[in-house]
Amino acid sequence: MLPQLDSAQSRTLVWAGLAVVLSSFGGSVLILGLPAVAADFRASVPAVSNLGSLLALGALGAFPLATLADHLGRRRLIAVGVAGFSIANLASAFAPSITALAVFRLVAVCFEALVGTVATALIVEEAPPTHRGLALSVLAILGGGGLLVAIVAYPIIAPHWRWLFLAASVGIIAAPFIWVRLPEGRAWARAHVTGSAVRLILSRPWRFRVGVLAGTTVLTALVLEPAGLLYTLFASSTLRLSPTAISVVIFFAGVAALISYLGGGYLSDRYGRRVPGAALTAAYTAFAGLGFVTGAVGFVASNLLWSALASAATPVMGAWSGELYPTRARATAEAVGAVAGAIGGIAGLQLVGYLTPRLGLGQGIALLSVAALGGAALLLLLPETRGRPLPD
């Protein structure tokens, strides 16, 4: 049965969801258009890996902004984030070089990471306690909707990737409406935030929880960042798939993701966070690597499974991480995860850049997926939180 939402909860889901849709749309353009971007700027795999490493640094910029969300509230920072990445998207549409594009995307990633972490914290805080997993699955579906728009649009306009960045600047118009219409989080307003959020998460028991989740994120990002960024480049250059064929694969992966988001939310609310979170994390990191060493058929099958399992894990991990952190520092703690992802992503991309001339692109990514499995095992060190009150 679907939960009954009050007016404030409904408006929170709508406007925070819009922010996530816009973030997902703009954030997916570079991945879909990467073969065309590489061709336009004559960039090699190591150069593209360096581009991805630079983009991952954007999460570092999101960290101080996320700490402001614990002091100033969720609404303002979400609206500022939407305006920030939309302006960067507009600039990306007119980038004269790959260096300029990298700088613009670095700014965009910073604000996209801010919106993702703060929106997740807000939904965890405002959702009915017994349906936090379902609420986050809806938020994830909305994010998938932004990706779907890009997937459908790009084959029509390929190879003109700049047009999609231009369209992704529509958030400049949406940001003022989000500022006005998105309700402020009631849980945050009741928390009486005082002192440093960073100091709080470095105290017991929060520092252990933050450390374990950060360790998991670093290890999984070793494979997920290069696999996600270089997905289309590998499909086009190694497997010789056309932009239309790649978009078809991504479309069906998106269909699997939409179903799995709801399945993961139900699974999380019914059976808890700990065991499903660890099992799903292990499974999707394994398939993320397998797709790059099993030929075209294996690539398609593994990516469908990767998409489905990772999507099922999204509401599980989102609800779990939110429940593990105190409200007074929840956005800051979520941002630590984004920073950890940046560190793991940079390491993964640099390792792939090093391994590709020696082993090949696919083999390099597959090798990293073995190390990433350790991240799933770390999750078993954390407590179960389903149904428990949010810590203040």
Query: Looking at residues 155-162, what average pLDDT do you find?
Result: 89
Number of CB atoms found within 10 A of residue 298's CB: 14
> Is 386 domain-assigned?
no
Checking if the pLDDT of 193 tops 70, the result is: no
pLDDT tier at 131, thresholds 50, 70, 90: confident
How many structural domains comprise the chain? 1
> Is 129 domain-assigned?
yes
> Is 369 domain-assigned?
yes
Query: Looking at residues 282-308, what average pLDDT do you find?
Result: 94
Q: Say which range, 71-80, 150-159, 188-197, has the weakest mean pLDDT.
A: 188-197
Range ranked top by mean pLDDT from 250-264, 304-318, 334-348: 304-318
> Is 152 domain-assigned?
yes
pLDDT of residue 34: 83
Query: Looking at residues 133-144, what average pLDDT do you find?
Result: 88
What is the rounded distance in angstroms from the CA atom of residue 129 to the CA atom of residue 145? Answer: 25
pLDDT tier at 3, thresholds 50, 70, 90: low
HEC per residue, the chain = CCCCCCHHHHHHHHHHHHHHHHHHHHHHHHHHHHHHHHHHHCCCHHHHHHHHHHHHCHHHHHHHHHHHHHHHCHHHHHHHHHHHHHHHHHHHCCCCCHHHHHHHHHHHHHHHHHHHHHHHHHHHHHCCHHHHHHHHHHHHHHHHHHHHHHHHHHHHHCCCHHHHHHHHHHHHHHHHHHHHHCCCCHHHHHCCCCCCHHHHHCCCCHHHHHHHHHHHHHHHHHHHHHHHHCHHHHHHHCCCCCHHHHHHHHHHHHHHHHHHHHHHHHHHHHHCCHHHHHHHHHHHHHHHHHCCCCHHHHHHHHHHHHHHHHHHHHHHHHHHHHHHCCHHHHHHHHHHHHHHHHHHHHHHHHHHHHHHHHHCHHHHHHHHHHHHHHHHHHHHHCCCCCCCCCCC
Mean pLDDT for all residues in the chain? 89
Checking if the pLDDT of 49 tops 80, the result is: no
> Is 390 domain-assigned?
no
> Is 3 domain-assigned?
no
> Is 387 domain-assigned?
no
Higher pLDDT, 160 or 189: 160
Q: What is the pTM of this model?
A: 0.79
B/e letters for 174-187, b = 16+ CB within 10 Å, e = fewer, are bbeebbeebbebeb
Query: Looking at residues 271-281, what average pLDDT do you find?
Result: 94
Query: Looking at residues 176-199, what average pLDDT do you find?
Result: 85
Q: What angle do CA 215, 213, 323 make, to 5 degrees?
A: 175
Query: Looking at residues 10-33, what average pLDDT do you find?
Result: 92
pLDDT tier at 327, thresholds 50, 70, 90: confident
For residue 334, give the CATH number of its domain. Answer: 1.20.1250.20
Tell me the per-residue pLDDT of 34-43, one tens digit each, with 9 for 90 and over.
888 888 888 8
| Rg, the chain, Cα only | 19
Checking if the pLDDT of 56 tops 80, the result is: no
> Is 259 domain-assigned?
yes
pLDDT of residue 322: 86
Q: Distance of alpha carbon 317 from its chain centroid, rounded?
A: 12
Query: Looking at residues 62-89, what average pLDDT do you find?
Result: 92
Checking if the pLDDT of 194 tops 70, the result is: no
Checking if the pLDDT of 213 tops 90, the result is: yes
Give the Å distances, CA to CA, from 276 to 16, 285, 305.
26, 14, 16
Total residue length of the chain? 392
Can you give the residue range of the structural domain that contains 293? 9-381
pLDDT of residue 251: 83
